[in-house]
């Protein structure tokens, strides 16, 4: 029986066998001896089995119950019908050190009918794997300042994103007169005003339109033309900076990016930037040292 490929030669889905007549999935194994520890996070394990899948099908990669009982966590994944690269297993050992032997069955590939809906781009995934069709929202740095509206204690404020500021600052002309404030213990540097700055005397609750929320104690400064949202807010929102380069641009074009076209794996027509959503619990793929 062939559960995977431990010999190093290319195998296809057609070479796989089911464990029994009633087995729903095709069992897969790792091609090499592997040791997983909790500190390593998620690792990709090669199977030596390559796509594409049978016509009209897609694949669900799931863990085997026997692997779960041993403490091996197999992270579910979807194998697209047009994927021609090597099928790999995402595995981790969150609780203890786990040894996986070459040829040990730890995952299974479940073939399901493929239902095509929506628009598609005239291109195939080919051998591009994890994350090759993901879409990321970025904002170009231009003369227009990146602004963000926040609802603070129920009141709407507009401010400029300032990644260089540790603490957010609200202009005195926008500060409600009924909100208490006090003289700040520390001084401010970097914005031209350091003498006797004021600060909110209580924690304020902020919330953006995407549902991110938190508490902060902003500074209040006179003669400031705009409010500044600093890292005390931006870090809670999961904001990150992105600096493109010709190398990255060429790579994205090779992966199928169509400039000025709608985003989405199947060209659904998402033309506007995507709303920024925090995903703090997501972990990237690890690698062996």
User: What are the distances in angstroms from CA 49 to CA 21, 76, 92, 213?
Assistant: 21, 17, 20, 45
Whether 109 and 87 have beta carbons less than 8 Å apart is answered as yes
Residue among 162, 210, 232, 275 flagged as catalytic: 162
Residues 6+ apart with CB under 8 A from 285: 42, 43, 44, 90, 130
Asked if 254 is an active-site residue, the reply is no
Interacting residues of 182 by C-beta distance below 8 A, sequence separation 6+: 198, 199, 200, 201
Cis bond leading into 52, ω under 30°? yes
CA distance 151 to 91: 41
Instruction: Give the integer Cα–Cα distance in Å for 219 and 200.
Output: 6
How would you label 123-158 residue by residue, b for 16+ Cβ within 10 Å and e otherwise? eebeebbeebeeeeeeeeeeeeeeebebebeeeebe
Q: Is there a contact between 193 and 176 (Cβ–Cβ < 8 Å)?
A: no
Distance (Å) of CA 216 to CA 85, 229, 286: 48, 11, 34
Written as six digits, the tokens of 232 are 């005390």
Q: Structure tokens of 109? A: 């590939």
Active site residues: 162
């Amino acid at each position: 029986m062939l559960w995977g490929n431990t010999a190093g030669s290319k195998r296809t889905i057609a070479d796989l066998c089911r464990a029994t007549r009633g087995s729903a999935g095709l069992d897969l194994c790792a091609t090499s001896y592997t040791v997983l520890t909790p500190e390593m996070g998620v690792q990709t394990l090669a199977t030596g089995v390559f796509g594409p899948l049978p016509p009209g099908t897609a694949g669900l990669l799931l863990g085997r119950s026997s692997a779960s009982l041993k403490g091996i966590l197999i992270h579910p994944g979807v194998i697209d019908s047009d994927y021609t690269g090597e099928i790999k297993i995402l595995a981790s050992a969150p609780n203890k050190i786990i040894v996986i032997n070459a040829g040990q069955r730890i995952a299974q590939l479940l073939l399901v009918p493929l239902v095509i809906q929506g628009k598609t781009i005239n291109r195939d995934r080919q051998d591009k794997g994890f994350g090759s069709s993901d879409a990321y929202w970025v904002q170009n740095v231009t003369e227009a300042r990146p602004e963000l509206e926040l609802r603070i204690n129920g009141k709407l404020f507009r401010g400029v994103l300032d990644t260089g500021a540790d603490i957010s600052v609200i202009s005195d002309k926008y500060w409600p007169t009924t909100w208490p404030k006090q003289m700040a213990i520390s001084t401010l540097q970097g914005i031209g005003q350091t003498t006797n700055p004021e600060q909110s005397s209580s924690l304020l609750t902020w919330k953006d339109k995407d549902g991110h929320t938190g508490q902060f104690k902003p500074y209040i400064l006179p003669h400031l033309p705009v409010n500044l949202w600093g890292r005390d807010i931006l870090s809670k929102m999961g904001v990150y900076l992105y600096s493109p380069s010709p190398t990255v641009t060429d790579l994205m074009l090779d992966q199928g990016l169509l400039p000025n076209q709608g985003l989405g794996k199947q060209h659904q027509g998402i033309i506007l930037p995507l709303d920024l959503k925090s995903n703090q619990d997501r972990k990237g793929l690890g690698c062996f040292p």
